[in-house]
Structure 1
C-alpha cells in the first residue's frame, strides 16, 4: 500500500523543506500501543534514572542547537536568532522539569488533623501513562516542549503530533530523544494533517491531551476527548494588552511594546496586540513608538506569515482598523504576501474586530486612557485572558495592576518575561484555555494525585466507622468538634 505524504514548505520561498507521511488512524493506534508499553518501562525507572536521561536529552539538544534552529527557520520562516532563542528557552525548561520532578511529585507525609490523630497520611503524584501532545507551528520547539518535558519528567510516555507546517521539527525532537533514551519508544512523533491529531485525541488509551492552538480547534479537540472523558490542557489564543502608566519609562516601554508585537511577525499567543496608554504620557510614548517602528521591516527583523490562511484575517483586521481609526504606520498595503509590514493604528473602537479578535500578525491598536484604572478596565474587557504587560515606575501600583489583570500571566516592566522562568506556570483563562504547563503546576498537570491513609492505632473510645458505634461515641465526637471548632472569632 502506498503511503500518502505531504510537504512542509519554507513560507518565505515556497521551497520544499521535507516530505512526511500522512499517518492514518491505524498508524496512530499502533504508536499509542507502543507508547503504552514504553510508559510502563519509563514509569518503572527510578526518579534519578529518568532525571539522568532527561538531562542527557537536554545536552543533546544543546549540541544540536544550530541544526535545530536552521530547521525551525526553514519551516517557520522566522530568523535564525529567534529560532535559537526559543530552543534555548526549551532547554532551560527541560532542565528544570528534570531537576524538580521528584521534589514536586514525590511521596510526602501530610497532616491528618485531630480527627485523624490515629492515622498517617501520604500524598504522591503518579504518572498517567500515555500523553498526547498536539503542538503549534509558531514556536515548534518551545511550546510543545512545555508539555513534553514536564510530562516525561512526571513519568509518562509521549505521542506528539506537530503542526503540519512544522513536522520536520517534531520528528527531529523525537529522534534526538531516542539518542538519550534508546531502550524504548518513550517519545514518538506522528505526522499528518488534522485527521492525525483527531485520531490521537480520540484514542481511549491516551490518558491526557495537551493542545496548543486556536480556541475553535481546541473545542473540536475537547469534543473528541469527551468521548472517553480524556482530560485536556488547552493553551489557546490571546488578545494581550500592554498598559503604560503615567510614570513609566517610555523608551523602555516603547521598545518592549514593539518587540512584543512585531517579533515572530506577531505570531505569538502571548504577544502584544492592544496598547492602552495613560493620557499624561500618551504623546511621548507614541513618539518613541513611531521612531522605533520606522526601522522595522518584514523580511529583515522578522519573517513571513507562516500560515498562508492567516493573511486573510490580518488583512481584514487592518482594513477594519484603518477605516475606523488613525493610522500611525502601515495600512492595507502592508500586506504583501507572504510578509506583513508593521501596522499601528490609534483610536480604533473597542468593539472592532481588530480589538476583539486575535489578529496573530504584526499589528497593534493603541488607545489613550484617562488613567491607569480605565486602561485596566479596557484590558480586562476581553473574552481572552492569556497574558499581559504593565509598564509603571511605581512598583506597588504595578503589582496591584498585574494582580487585577484578567490573565494567567503578567509581565511588569518587561514583555513575555514569564515564559523564561521555568518555575512559573503558563496558561490562561476564558477563551485562552485552561490548565497549566511549566513549573510545579505543569508537572502536576501530567500526574494523578494518589492519597493514602494508614491507621497507626485504634482511636480509644471512638470507633466512628463501625456499625458497633454507640451513642456515647457520637457524644464524645460532638464534644471534641465543639471544643476544636465551636468558638466564633471576634
Structure 2
C-alpha cells in the first residue's frame, strides 16, 4: 500500500505545526483538474446571475467566520492581526466587485462592422477557459490569490488553487468557506505541495495559469506552461520607488514611506524599497522618516507592529542586502545589520550607491533606502534604472501626474502609496521582470476569458469571397479602395 507523503505548515510565530497536508503528485493534480473540468460546465451553466449569488454568499461566509481566518493568517504568516484583517477586507472588496461587474464586462456586445462589411452584424463576447490554475504566494495568502480566484470564478471558470507551501491552511480554509456558501466543491479545488505540485498544475491541461511569486519562479512557471502553450499571467517581484518632490507634504510622504516599506515586515511586492528625495527637502524628510521608523518594534507578540519574516531564508537575503549597502558606502540611520533569526527590526539606510543590491534587487524585508537627488529628473532616471517595473509612488503638489506618467510601472500612486491595490476597478500588474498580464478590474475579468468574435450576414451584397468573382467586381473593389482610402 502506497502512502501519500505529507508536509507540515509551521507557524513562524512559535514553530508549532498549524496543520499537515498531502504532497499532491502529478496524478493527484491531474485527477483534481479533471473533476474541475466537469464542474466548470455546471458552474458555467449557472450564468452570471447564479455565479454572482454564490460569490456573494461566499463573501458573507468569510465575514461570518472572520476571526477564524484572521487567526489562521496570523498563525501561518506571522503578521499582526490588524494586517491580516486589512488584507481580508481588500480581498472581500475585490470578490464583491468581480461578482457584480462580470456580466457588464464579459457579456456579448455588438460592434460596428464598418462600411466594407455593412451587410454584416458583428459582435464580440468572452468565453471562460474552463479550468484556471492559480499558484499563490505566502505574503498575502488571502488578498493576492483572490485577485485571480474571484475574477476567474466570476468569469465562469472552475479554479484549481495551489497555495504556497507556507500557507496551505489558508488556501484550504478558503475552499471550505466556498463550499459552506453553496459552491460546487470541484469548481474551486485546492492542491497542496511544493514546487513539483505547481509544475504539475502547469502541465495538467488547465486553460490558463495565474502565478504570483518571485521573478525566478515565474520564469520556471512560464517554461512549464510553454510545453503545452498554456497561457499565463505572471505577477512577479518589484523594487518600487517613492519620489519626494521639493513641494511635497513631507509629513504625509514620510508616513507613506514608512508604511509602504515596513508594513507586513516589508514582505510586499508593491512595497516601497527605495526613496529619492529632492535635496531641498531631503534632510527634513529624512528626519521625519527616522522618527517614525524608531517607533516601530518587531516581534512575535500581539503588540508588535512588525511580525517575523515568514521564510527563514528571506532573513538571509535581508542581511546580505544590508551588508552590501554598507559595503557600497551606505549608512544605517535606524537599526543595524539584522541579527540571526526571523524577527528583523526595521533598517533605514541612506547614501547607498545605486549599484548596490539594496537598490537594484528585491529585498522583500523591512529595509528602506533613502537617497538624495538634485532634481526629479534624476529621481526618475534612478527609479527607472532597475529591471523591475511593478509600481511606485510620487509625492508632489504641482507635478504629481507628470512624474507619475514618467515612472516605469503598471501602477503609480500620487500623494499616497499602494492605494491602487484597493481600487477594484483598476488593473494590477507590471512590466519587465515584474511580469505581464493583469488581475483586478475589467482587465482582470477579461484575463480569465477569451474573446470570441461572431459575424452574421444580414442581406446580400457585393460578393468578394467567391472563386467566381468577376472582373467587374474587381473594378468595383478598385474604385472602393481609391474612394475610401486614397
Structure 1 counterpart of 2:62: 61
Structure 2 counterpart of 1:86: 87
Write the mapping of 1:12-411 to structure 2, written as runs, cut at 5 A.
12-204=13-205, 206-299=206-299, 300-323=304-327, 324-332=329-337, 334-394=338-398, 397-411=399-413
- Measured in 2, the distance between the counterparts of 1:144 and 1:368 equals 37
How far is 1:474 from its partner? 2.1
How far is 1:477 from its partner? 2.0
- Measured in 2, the distance between the counterparts of 1:14 and 1:473 equals 80
Cα offsets for 1:279-316 (capped at 9, x unmatched): 11101101111111111111211100101111111110
How far is 1:19 from its partner? 1.0
Q: Structure 1's 29 and 127: CA in aligned 2 closer, same or farther, altered over 3 A? A: same
SS of 2:121 mapped into structure 1: strand
- Measured in 2, the distance between the counterparts of 1:453 and 1:9 equals 56
- Measured in 2, the distance between the counterparts of 1:349 and 1:184 equals 53
- Measured in 2, the distance between the counterparts of 1:168 and 1:467 equals 63
TM norm structure 2:
0.97
Greater alpha carbon shift after TM alignment, 418-427 vs 367-376: 367-376
SS of 1:133 mapped into structure 2: strand
Greater alpha carbon shift after TM alignment, 105-114 vs 344-353: 344-353
Q: Residue 137 of structure 2 contacts residue 212 of structure 2 at CA under 8 Å; is this kept in 1?
A: yes
- Measured in 2, the distance between the counterparts of 1:223 and 1:247 equals 47
Cα offsets for 1:316-346 (capped at 9, x unmatched): 00111123212211221x3341111111111
- Measured in 2, the distance between the counterparts of 1:221 and 1:182 equals 29
SS of 1:273 mapped into structure 2: strand
- Measured in 1, the distance between the counterparts of 2:341 and 2:396 equals 37
SS of 1:257 mapped into structure 2: helix
How far is 1:107 from its partner? 0.5
How far is 1:269 from its partner? 0.2
Q: Residue 43 of structure 2 contacts residue 187 of structure 2 at CA under 8 Å; is this kept in 1?
A: yes
Q: Residue 12 of structure 1 contacts residue 338 of structure 1 at CA under 8 Å; is this kept in 2?
A: no
- Measured in 2, the distance between the counterparts of 1:42 and 1:76 equals 32
How far is 1:145 from its partner? 0.3
Query: Which runs of 5 or more structure 2 residues have no equivalent in the other structure?
Result: none
Cα offsets for 1:437-474 (capped at 9, x unmatched): 00000000000100000110111xx2111112122222
Q: Residue 322 of structure 1 contacts residue 331 of structure 1 at CA under 8 Å; is this kept in 2?
A: no
- Measured in 2, the distance between the counterparts of 1:292 and 1:371 equals 25
- RMSD (CA atoms): 1.0
Structure 2 counterpart of 1:428: 430
Query: Which runs of 5 or more structure 1 residues have no equivalent in the other structure?
Result: none
How far is 1:184 from its partner? 4.7
How far is 1:3 from its partner? 2.3
How far is 1:479 from its partner? 2.0
- Measured in 1, the distance between the counterparts of 2:55 and 2:111 equals 29
Structure 2 counterpart of 1:452: 454
How far is 1:484 from its partner? 2.3
Greater alpha carbon shift after TM alignment, 244-253 vs 22-31: 22-31
SS of 1:274 mapped into structure 2: strand
Q: Runs of 4+ in structure 1 displaced over 4 angstroms?
A: none
- Measured in 2, the distance between the counterparts of 1:355 and 1:472 equals 69
Q: Residue 47 of structure 2 contacts residue 156 of structure 2 at CA under 8 Å; is this kept in 1?
A: no
Q: Structure 1's 76 and 439: CA in aligned 2 closer, same or farther, altered over 3 A? A: same
How far is 1:378 from its partner? 0.7
Cα offsets for 1:114-155 (capped at 9, x unmatched): 001000001000010010000000000000000000000000
- Measured in 2, the distance between the counterparts of 1:339 and 1:184 equals 38
- Measured in 2, the distance between the counterparts of 1:183 and 1:132 equals 16
SS of 2:252 mapped into structure 1: helix
Q: Residue 128 of structure 2 contacts residue 157 of structure 2 at CA under 8 Å; is this kept in 1?
A: yes
Greater alpha carbon shift after TM alignment, 408-417 vs 334-343: 334-343
SS of 2:242 mapped into structure 1: strand
- Measured in 2, the distance between the counterparts of 1:57 and 1:478 equals 60
SS of 1:340 mapped into structure 2: coil
Q: Residue 98 of structure 2 contacts residue 441 of structure 2 at CA under 8 Å; is this kept in 1?
A: yes
- Measured in 1, the distance between the counterparts of 2:380 and 2:298 equals 31
Q: How many residues align?
A: 480
Cα offsets for 1:61-104 (capped at 9, x unmatched): 11111110110000000000100100000000010000000100
